């Protein structure tokens, strides 16, 4: 999980563009970059209200409208107009006047079309709002994904491993032993459960292990320890 204190310089943006996702501490935002080579673009997800019930988080996606330059160059041009300051860019897109286009709200900044979306806060993850996920005090009678998230974030376990994970690349799966072994980044696992919970099921088996599985292709096992509780350090994740 990549975290920066701020994103206010060209050098910092170079770092952000080398990662698919970067969380920015000072403005409470997630910057996502996708695409290849000269066709990279970005989105900004505000996460100040993340994981809070009854709230929303705005997301801004950027779409190059200029055929004369690549997507990457268009983003660089946009960033140069705000002197590579993410905080300034957020101020501009947050206060812009948006028009309705079918189901989408959009505005323009130079040659860039900016779409604004609203996401339910309980479906947005933030490494800076982990205090919103209180540790479990007792084991629930009926397990839900939200219970597993709290156990993960508060490290209420002795062991957390992947028992098997399969993809369409069968040869690669076998070569990598079906990704079996300790979960290397529990916080990223928790973010996946929060933002993409469809298909995930949680149950406690006959031996007391907690099974956290997504359909039949992503299978994981946790050895619960309710006597342990120490919130994950997001900066070290």
Q: What is the pLDDT of residue 61?
A: 95
Residue 101 has pLDDT above 80, yes or no: no
Kindly write down the DSSP assignment for every residue of 70-133, as one continuous string. Answer: -HHHHHHHHHHHTTT-HHHHHHHHHHSPPEEETTEEEEEETTEEEEEEEEEGGG---TT-GGGS
**Residue 231 pLDDT class (50, 70, 90 cuts):** confident
**Residue 38 pLDDT class (50, 70, 90 cuts):** confident
For residue range 179-226, list pLDDT tens digits in order: 788 999 999 999 999 999 999 999 999 999 999 999 888 999 999 999
Average pLDDT rounded to a whole number, residues 23-40: 93
**Residue 230 pLDDT class (50, 70, 90 cuts):** confident
- Residues 96, 80: Cα–Cα separation, whole Å: 18
CB 115 within 8 A of CB 104: yes
Residue 237 has pLDDT above 80, yes or no: no
Residue 111 has pLDDT above 80, yes or no: yes
Residue 236 has pLDDT above 70, yes or no: no
Q: What is the pLDDT of residue 195?
A: 97
Q: What is the pLDDT of residue 232?
A: 72
CB 21 within 8 A of CB 31: yes
Residue ranges in the chain assigned as alpha helix (H)? 10-17, 71-81, 86-95, 145-153, 170-175, 186-195
For residue range 39-90, list pLDDT tens digits in order: 889 999 999 999 999 999 999 999 999 878 899 999 999 999 999 999 999 9
Question: Residue for token digits 């268009």?
Answer: 74
Domain boundaries, the chain: 3-123, 133-236
Average pLDDT rounded to a whole number, residues 86-98: 94
Residue 124 has pLDDT above 80, yes or no: yes
Higher local confidence (pLDDT), 229 or 20: 20
């Amino acid at each position: 999980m990549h975290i920066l204190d701020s994103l206010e310089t060209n050098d910092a943006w170079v770092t952000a563009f080398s990662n698919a996702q970067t969380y920015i501490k000072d403005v409470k935002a997630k910057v996502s970059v996708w695409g290849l080579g000269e066709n990279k673009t970005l989105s900004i997800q505000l996460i100040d209200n993340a994981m809070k019930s009854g709230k929303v988080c705005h997301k801004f996606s950027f779409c190059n409208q200029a055929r004369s330059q690549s997507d990457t160059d268009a983003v660089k041009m946009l960033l140069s107009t705000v002197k590579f300051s993410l905080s300034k860019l957020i101020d501009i897109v947050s206060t812009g006047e948006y028009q309705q286009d079918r189901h989408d709200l959009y505005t323009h900044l130079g040659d860039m079309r900016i779409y604004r979306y609203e996401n339910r806060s309980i479906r947005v993850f933030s490494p800076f709002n982990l205090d919103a996920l209180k540790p479990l005090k007792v084991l629930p009678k009926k397990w839900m994904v939200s219970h597993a998230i709290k156990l993960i974030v508060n490290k209420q376990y002795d062991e957390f491993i992947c028992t098997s994970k399969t993809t369409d690349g069968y040869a690669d799966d076998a070569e990598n032993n079906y990704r079996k072994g300790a979960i290397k980044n529990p916080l990223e696992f928790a973010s996946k459960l929060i933002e993409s919970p469809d298909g995930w099921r949680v149950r406690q088996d006959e031996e007391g292990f907690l099974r956290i599985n997504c359909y039949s292709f992503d299978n994981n096992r946790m050895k619960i320890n309710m006597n342990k509780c120490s919130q994950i350090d997001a900066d070290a994740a």
